[in-house]
Amino acid sequence: MDTPRPTGARIDPATGHLLVPWSDGVTLRYPIDALRAACPCAGCVDEWTGKVLVSIEMFPGVTLKSLKQVGQYAFNVVFSDGHDTGLYTWPRLREIGRNDGDAAPPT
């Protein structure tokens, strides 16, 4: 089976969260502060130890400034705090996305 890949990206106007629909039919939600705190760049994660140097509390009210696809493997996200070095690869995005599921499970 192919690795799922995003088929788009949009901001949910109600919450300001990023919504990414995937090729396998799943749509995942990304609060922007959580996305920012999950930045995998060398400035946010220690390259040698893998220690995460940022946390969600550091980014109150951060918003998404722009997002562009890099090749066939990642999104480059620019945040309102000016941070633009993070590359969010598809596997990484799948890992950190939140699945809202169905509002009401079938009974």
4 vs 54 by CB, closer to Zn ion: 54
In angstroms, rounded to a whole number, what is the distance separating the alpha carbons of residues 95 and 43?
20
What strands lie across the sheet with 18-21, from one edge to the other?
Answer: 10-11, 18-21, 27-30
Kindly report the backbone phi and psi dihedral angles of residue 85, in degrees, each rounded to the nearest multiple of 5, phi listed first. Answer: -100, -5
| 39 is a contact residue toward Zn ion (CB under 5 A) | yes
9 vs 87 by CB, closer to Zn ion: 87
State the number of binding residues for Zn ion (CB under 5 A). 5
| 41 is a contact residue toward Zn ion (CB under 5 A) | yes
For Zn ion, which stretch binds (CB under 5 A), given 10-18, 23-31, 78-86, 97-105?
A: 78-86
Q: Are 87 and 75 in contact (CB under 8 A)?
A: yes
Contacts with Zn ion by CB under 5 A lie at 39, 41, 43-44, 86
